[in-house]
Amino acid sequence: MEYFLTEQQKTIKALARRIAEERILPVRAELDEKEEFPWAIMKDLADADMFRVFIPEEYDGLGGGCLELCLVVEELSRVCSGVAISYAATALGCSSLLEYGNEEQKQKYLPDVASGKRLAAFALTESTAGSDASAIKTTASREKEGYVLNGTKQFITNGGEADIYTIIALTNPERGSRGASAFLVDKDTPGFSFGKKEKKMGIRASTTRELIFRNCLVPEENLIGKEGMGFIITMRVLDRSRPGIGAQAVGLAQGALEAAVDYARQRIQFGHPIYSLQAVQHMLAEMATQVEAARLLVYAAARTIDSGAKDFTEEAAMAKVFASDTAMRVTTDAVQIFGGVGYMRDYPVEKMMRDAKITQIYEGSNQVLRSTIALELRKRRARRE
């Protein structure tokens, strides 16, 4: 299929694929087994300028947009989506800064992200606040020297590995969802510590941790935007990052599809490759079609964002929902096609199936996003009247 990528986009995609195949592929099983954060690969990505892809040129970046980021995430995820999300989470972690930060903040933090020197993370979720983001309890009380943070964030990707954290906390608990603000917090800030590393079903190379704030003083210049903008920033930043999760899901599904096709071609049963069985062919055809549709929806959403559109909530949600559901379905079918050996850890597809589940859950569960889409749909139709 022709994706109408520019020369630069093709170069980025090709280099990401090379990194995935030469550096990630040989170690992905081990990273999954040992649940190790892929530092060496983060360095390879940094050396290849991959972190510059989502940073503007004035901060040492290459000025790419959402589509460029999606191309990298997709290629990395095709080989290991745990590694891919470690990379993508950094983009999410500085997205608030990119969209709403002031010049001093950008100059201070972005060049280090561009060079890959420092990774980033975004922290919203708490034990009481998953889909119900407004139920967060972490507070940021205004003091003379800045803001003092108290509370615990849960399930934060890159928690403990990243140096730069975007934290959403309540500056004004009485105002509910209009009382939250976004802060930049450095890793070694006193009062900021980490909980245990979570043991997950999948994306085990990615590190997921609790962030614990006990009277953590954050300087006032680290407030992003204005007090009270916390949720607006969150909504926008998550909208912007959803195609990236879609890309993670597409890459994952693609990897599973390729593995299933290769296996079906060489597995002989009843004297023939199982690819000759119509049941298998139809499964693969369905898988391939779904992956292609998911990819196109993700690319279209990314291009919509890059075109400067003011509103892309619906497109971003659709891309993420469709792609993640596709990834779950395709990876499950891939295991089915592999049969017994697909269940064994020596083969790559069971990991892919375990990795897929989270894409339906995080960054907005697919149930919440369906409600979002329905709401946007109604709003659009209502505007016509």
Partner 1 sequence: MNIVVCLKQVPGTTEVRIDSQTNTLIREGIKNIVNPFDTYALEEGVRIKERYGGKVTTVSMGPPQAEEVLREAISVGADEAILLSDSAFAGADTLATAYTLARAISKLEQYDIIICGRQTIDGDTGQVGPELAEMLGIPFVAYVSKIEGIDNGYMRVQRMVEEGHEVIETPLPAVITVVKEINMPRLPSLRGLAKAKNAVIPVWAAQELGVDRNTVGLLGSATRVIKIFFPQRVHHGEILQGELDSQADSLVNKLRQARVI
What tokens were used for 61? 């970046």
3-state SS class at 153:
strand
Query: Max alpha carbon distance in the chain (Å)?
Result: 79
b/e per residue 261-298 (b: at least 16 CB within 10 A): bebbeebeeeeeebbeeeebeebbeebbebbbebbebb
Nearer to partner 1, 46 or 223 (CB): 46
Closest C-alpha to 8, from 76, 63, 85, 79:
63
Q: How far is the CB of 30 from partner 1 (least distance, A)?
A: 17
Closest C-alpha to 166, from 119, 124, 209:
124
Helix H or strand E segment including 93? helix 81-93
Nearer to partner 1, 64 or 202 (CB): 64
Nearer to partner 1, 49 or 325 (CB): 49
State yes or no: is 7 an active-site residue.
Answer: no
Q: How far is the CB of 349 from partner 1 (least distance, A)?
A: 27
3-state SS class at 214:
strand
Nearer to partner 1, 86 or 326 (CB): 86
Q: How far is the CB of 302 from partner 1 (least distance, A)?
A: 18
Nearer to partner 1, 52 or 200 (CB): 52
Whole-angstrom CA distances from 233 to 92, 113, 369 are 12, 20, 17
Measured from the Cβ of residue 221, the count of other Cβ atoms closer than 10 Å reads: 11
Q: Which residues have C-beta within 8 Å of that of residue 238, sequence separation ≥ 6?
A: 363, 364
Rounded to an integer, what distance in angstroms lies between the CA atom of residue 364 and that of residue 55? 24
DSSP 277: S
Q: How far is the CB of 69 from partner 1 (least distance, A)?
A: 13
Closest C-alpha to 338, from 295, 288, 284, 379:
284
| CA atoms lying within 13 Å on the CB side of residue 334 | 31
Rounded to an integer, what distance in angstroms lies between the CA atom of residue 374 and that of residue 246? 19
Rounded to an integer, what distance in angstroms lies between the CA atom of residue 185 and that of residue 170? 15
Nearer to partner 1, 53 or 280 (CB): 53
Q: How far is the CB of 212 from partner 1 (least distance, A)?
A: 37
Nearer to partner 1, 66 or 330 (CB): 66
Nearer to partner 1, 72 or 229 (CB): 72
Q: How far is the CB of 343 from partner 1 (least distance, A)?
A: 28
3-state SS class at 264:
helix
b/e per residue 336-365 (b: at least 16 CB within 10 A): ebbeeebeeeebbbbbbbbbbbbbbebbbe
Q: Which amino acid is at 262?
A: D
Q: How far is the CB of 44 from partner 1 (least distance, A)?
A: 7
Residues that bind partner 1 (CB under 8 A): 11-12, 15, 18-19, 22-23, 44, 47-50, 52-53, 62
Q: How far is the CB of 110 from partner 1 (least distance, A)?
A: 16
Q: Which of 126, 210, 314, 363 is catalytic?
A: 363
Q: Is 199 exposed, middle or buried (0-12, 13-18, 19+ CB in 10 A)?
A: exposed
Question: Which residues belong to the active site?
Answer: 363
